[in-house]
Structure 1
Amino acid sequence: MRLAINYNRALQLFTVIGLLIISSCSSNEKKDTQTGADTALLVTVSQPSADTKQGLTVSGQVEAAQSANISTRVMGYITRINVKVGDRVSKGQLLATISNDDILAKRAQADAMIAEANAGFKNAQKDYDRFTALYQQQSASAKELDNITLQYSSAKARLEAAKQQRNEVNAMLSYTNLTAPFAGTVTQKMMDAGSMANPGMPLLTIEQSGSYQVSASVPESEISLIHEGASAIITIDAIHKVINGKVAQIGQSSQNTGGQYMIKIHIPDTEKKGLFAGMYANVNIPLAQTIKTNISDQVMVPVSAIEYKDQLTGLYTIGSNQTALLRWVRLGRTQGNQVEVLSGLAANEQFIVSAEGRLYNGVAVKIK
């Protein structure tokens, strides 16, 4: 009897302890859930944009309207370079000289040949004048006059050949003195004095001062929408400047540019202050008709949403458990502040644009 009573009391005691444990676990779960909700990062989400747009945005670089690579047509050692990068030069200014001792020797030979040919020509001319007078006096035969005339013509031709040879040597000599083809600024210096100059290899690069343009590439699907003279809005982030320009030139072939057509946008001279060749620019060209992009073909996201790690690129999405999930993606071309996602993100997927705190894999997030 007493054993049964003790058994019932023990059973009641274990039942009470079990209920207390279950209640404690439930309370902890609610507390953890409440704490997780309170510490979640507030994030702003968006979906890829692929709707119609009323303008074409392309990227390009500022460049001088006219530039030239200075090279020589003869081989020789560079004896002197009179300019450095950043120097302003005037048209016809001497920039560099190439060793020309061998060409000077050839010119001396050409001068000697001219002197010899000139002496022979003068002698032949005297014989020709003498036999012409004798023939008129019937003191010389026609055959003798023909022979003298042939000698005279040959001597004259040899003199002319010697003179042309000297002209050729003088032309070669002029290639050893490199001058500026126009007024501008030296932007590159590829060689120094003492280096061997070869025909066609640039020594210097000169860009014309005071006139700039933007060179940009346009896809083949949109080149037909642009025409010369069209207005363009140029944004240069480096100097925080917006310039109104016009399309000055449209390339007619993309054979050597990977399917992209090059266009040139003229920058007015009044807007050149602060500009330097090589600055990156974003160009927006307003169009009369909208550009339609298929949402299944093109997925565009803000550049600011992209995460870079070593050679990888990704962006944060929201997982099923309301946590941030870093998704690696492959990017395509950039249009203004938007970049194309080629793979890794569906067109109807949400991604995190910004967060009120540091994002990392697995952190709890809450959509604003």
Structure 2
Amino acid sequence: MKTAVKSVGLALVAALTCGCAGSPSNEPYVQRVSLTRPELLGGETIRTFSGVVRAAHEVNLGFKTAGQIARIHVEEGDYVRRGELLAELDDADYRLAVEALQIQYDQLKDEVERTKQLFEQKSVSANDFEKASAGLRQLGVQLQANRNKLNYTKLYAPTDGYIQKVNFSPAEMVDAGTALFLLLDVSRMEVEVDIPPVEYRRRDRFTHFACRAAGIDGEMPMRLSGMPPRADGNQLYHVTLAFAGQPDRRLTAGMNVEVLIGVADTTGRQGYALPFGSIFLEGETPSVWVFGADSTVRRRAVVLGNTDAEGRAVVVGGLDGGEWVVRAGVSALEEGEKARVVAEPSQTNVGGLL
């Protein structure tokens, strides 16, 4: 019995010895670090704001002459193109007026031709011939005016857009200039955005404008249309932007967009910005740890300038901007040491609970 117990004890000791030999605690410790990239200064910063698409203006459309509405060819919400027929007036009386003047004009024209022949034969005076010619020209003007009125009985779209409102129905009487339609002009869409005072004070450094919309690929270039020097009740400044080209057909009035404003850095500062925690002193030399592709860190001496407006260290020498620089954990590192990158915590998963 004692022999059996002794054998079991030896086996247990051997198992524990093997387990300890394979324990991870004997593996070399790898320092954990977080990284950052140097940010180039002296370039351009892109500011992002929320904006809304608006129609540049709304057009009230009406006939240029009075009459009774005969036909309306569109409905509210219809998209129309420039030159499309929208509505017509009853033109019977206008046609009769043109026909009557046409008869008078043709008759007077024949009389003027005969008078001209008599004038050339010196059978009538020059004064009589000039009176007849003047009468013909005056009647011609009246005839053209009535032809114009006949043409005015048809209403065409002056631009591309949407019929937002129809104010009358067929058989109703309208006067000249009465608004029959309200047309939303989509050929001149704009974007309105409000910016805070800190950005308004940088308005002379705005370099370019663009916007992005959900469901539309790419950025749409824009140009500044207006920026009144007056803040609203919320201390925001209203900015109006016009599309540099033809706006996308998928954009509609009231759609939310993301507005991008480029702001130039005119401070004259050159170099790269880094968090102060990434800088350490090697003797009296400012240095940073550069994380290599083989996961090792190498010391890199740098030249520091003044801090930037955001309180970061400005490196004016020693970096080319393509490096990954250790941001945290610099004091525990050694030259050529292996390091493991710690992932940044999620903004939406604080504490890693999900």
In terms of fraction of residues, the more helix-rich structure is 1
TM-score interval, normalised by the smaller of the two chains: 0.3 to 0.5
TM-score (norm. length: structure 2): 0.48
